[in-house]
A and B are shown apart, each in its own frame.
Chain A
């Protein structure tokens, strides 16, 4: 029972990171109808920026801020100079260009920072607190969970309560009608990419200290898991991304805990396959009558 509880807490905190990462994927999917396969590499790049600032200033918080700002800038840059010019008629074009971007980013990071693992310090203690004799979450886990929940809440407010959120949703659903109503749809797309990359940067900064270390390929498996989480929740649904992330985190935690860490990558793929077979739209997909 203790072990089950421990695995549950552990699953929730890693799941929170997957949730943030899946949320980044969902943001771009909703804005541009493409899966950003470069999300992981972009997050690693911003984490390098973040930890460069940490090592210069000694402050994790300044580093976190720098990483998020770098994410905003990188997301806008990628959309403006690259993705805007990709022909979206064939979805494969987006995938190939994004994979090319992954290679580019990883090569540049390798050249600039080297290809070895760099330790990355966590701002809080990563040892689990014991509550009533049971190893529960560590302070760091709590920070991760809290940070992700706050970001999700802020994004929810942004999309439902602000004019720019309304513009972004309208642009995503009906670009032509939105233009006729005076919305600069191209700019909304840039904002969407910037926001998504900033959320990705946050996820990167949160996941790197959890034993992953900083490395150009640090996010490769995390990306696959987050993609699974986004598909589990439904690529269209921010709430689905969060639930999907936590769910996948829990499942993987149980699998790793009871069956051993070697089975984890396999479990991810089995889960992805199962969701695609049973409910391809994701758990939170809503069947909507779309007008023609």
Chain B
């Protein structure tokens, strides 16, 4: 199985302060990888570096076989790499409909962009009822649906998701996790998922990438992390 994402000896940080050091792992096409670790482990920094919002200070990122160095952030979505940033990155001043339209504006295939938008409304029923509402009027769960749905309109091949379960009811979290699993199995989507909620992340992930203080301490099959008490104790503290 080929890996759609290969991260090699990646270092990055804010100004002179290094956050990521020598991070190496890869994500096979069509799988879900969960990035786990305590606050400050560098999980969000990792996603921001992968999508080009932060410039790496060393190492490299290969996406779909090509080095991402020097590729502009706004071109990544055209290549099928979508990043949903933490804090439910929706544009709160725009309506639900406008947020979704924005997600498909770059696409040349207008008909498919519209089709994708309709699919999102079918997938996330509450959004369809609130098309004309501004983003700041939505509940936490609706915002997360909107951010995720908007990313799906790009028909991505690799989805970077930052804390999709933050502040959500367990039932909604479970729905979103099940949806991700379904998209991976049916459409060949690959997901790199940053999660605080270790249990729910491991319930759908194929691989667990455990980070601590900016380094990858282990990248193991999720089933092993789930079942092996020693591993869990050592790396995840439960």
Bound-state CA distance A78–B74 (Å) is 24
Q: Which of A173, A181, A289, A290 contacts B106 (CB 8 A)?
A: A181
Instruction: Tell me if B31 counts as interface (CB < 8 A to partner A).
Output: no
**Chain A residues, Cβ within 8 Å of B82:** 180
Contacts A182-B77, A182-B78, A183-B74 known; list 11 others, CB within 8 Å: A163-B101, A173-B94, A176-B89, A179-B53, A179-B73, A180-B77, A181-B102, A181-B105, A181-B150, A184-B74, A291-B90
Q: Which of B92, B106, B143, B150 contacts A288 (CB 8 A)?
A: B92
Q: Is the CB of B102 within 8 A of A290?
A: no
Closest Cβ of chain B to A185, distance in Å, is 7
Instruction: Tell me if B75 counts as interface (CB < 8 A to partner A).
Output: yes
Offer 22 A-B interface pairs, CB within 8 angstroms, sorted by A. Answer: A163-B105, A166-B94, A166-B98, A167-B102, A170-B94, A174-B89, A176-B85, A176-B89, A177-B85, A177-B89, A177-B90, A180-B51, A180-B73, A180-B77, A181-B106, A182-B77, A183-B102, A289-B92, A290-B136, A291-B87, A291-B92, A291-B136
Instruction: Tell me if B112 counts as interface (CB < 8 A to partner A).
Output: no
Bound-state CA distance A163–B150 (Å) is 16
Q: Which of B88, B103, B136 contacts A181 (CB 8 A)?
A: B103
Instruction: Tell me if B93 counts as interface (CB < 8 A to partner A).
Output: yes
In this complex, what residue of A is CB-closest to B53? Answer: A176
Q: How large is the interface on A (under 10, 10 to 19, 20 to 34, 35 or more residues)?
A: 20 to 34
Instruction: Tell me if A126 counts as interface (CB < 8 A to partner B).
Output: no
**Chain B residues, Cβ within 8 Å of A290:** 92, 136
Chain A residues at the B interface, C-beta cutoff of 8 Å: 163, 166-167, 169-170, 173-174, 176-185, 288-292
Bound-state CA distance A166–B103 (Å) is 11
Closest Cβ of chain A to B11, distance in Å, is 22
Q: Is the CB of A178 within 8 A of B102?
A: yes
B residues 102-133 touching A (CB-CB < 8 Å): 102-103, 105-106
Bound-state CA distance A166–B101 (Å) is 9
Q: Is the CB of B94 within 8 A of A181?
A: no
**Chain A residues, Cβ within 8 Å of B51:** 180
Give the A-B pair count, Cβ closer than 8 A: 82
Interface residues in B, total, Cβ within 8 A: 30
Bound-state CA distance A106–B188 (Å) is 61
Bound-state CA distance A167–B89 (Å) is 16
B residues 37-91 touching A (CB-CB < 8 Å): 51, 53, 73-78, 82-83, 85, 87-91
Q: Is the CB of B136 within 8 A of A166?
A: no
Chain B residues at the A interface, C-beta cutoff of 8 Å: 51, 53, 73-78, 82-83, 85, 87-94, 98, 101-103, 105-106, 135-136, 143, 150, 154
Q: Is the CB of A288 within 8 A of B77?
A: no
Bound-state CA distance A87–B38 (Å) is 34
In this complex, what residue of A is CB-closest to B93? Answer: A173
**Chain A residues, Cβ within 8 Å of B105:** 163, 166-167, 181-183
Interface centre among A178, A182, A184, A185 (most CB of B within 10 A): A182
Q: Is the CB of B102 within 8 A of A166?
A: yes
Closest Cβ of chain A to B90, distance in Å, is 7
**Chain B residues, Cβ within 8 Å of A173:** 91-94
Q: Is the CB of B74 within 8 A of A179?
A: yes
Q: Which of B90, B93, B143 contacts A169 (CB 8 A)?
A: B93
- Nearest first, the 4 A-B pairs at minimum CB distance are A182-B106, A182-B77, A177-B89, A179-B73
Bound-state CA distance A18–B92 (Å) is 31
Bound-state CA distance A183–B120 (Å) is 21
**Chain B residues, Cβ within 8 Å of A176:** 53, 85, 89
**Chain A residues, Cβ within 8 Å of B88:** 291
Bound-state CA distance A289–B105 (Å) is 26
In this complex, what residue of A is CB-closest to B88? Answer: A291
**Chain B residues, Cβ within 8 Å of A179:** 53, 73-74
Contact A182-B89, Cβ < 8 Å, known A166-B105, A170-B94, A289-B136: no
Interface centre among B76, B90, B102 (most CB of A within 10 A): B102
Bound-state CA distance A288–B51 (Å) is 29
Closest Cβ of chain A to B229, distance in Å, is 37
Interface centre among A174, A185, A292 (most CB of B within 10 A): A174
Bound-state CA distance A180–B89 (Å) is 10
In this complex, what residue of B is CB-closest to A167? Answer: B105
Bound-state CA distance A166–B74 (Å) is 16
Contact A169-B94, Cβ < 8 Å, known A180-B82, A181-B103: yes
Q: Is the CB of B77 within 8 A of A181?
A: yes
Closest Cβ of chain A to B158, distance in Å, is 13
Contact A288-B136, Cβ < 8 Å, known A167-B102, A179-B74, A182-B105: yes
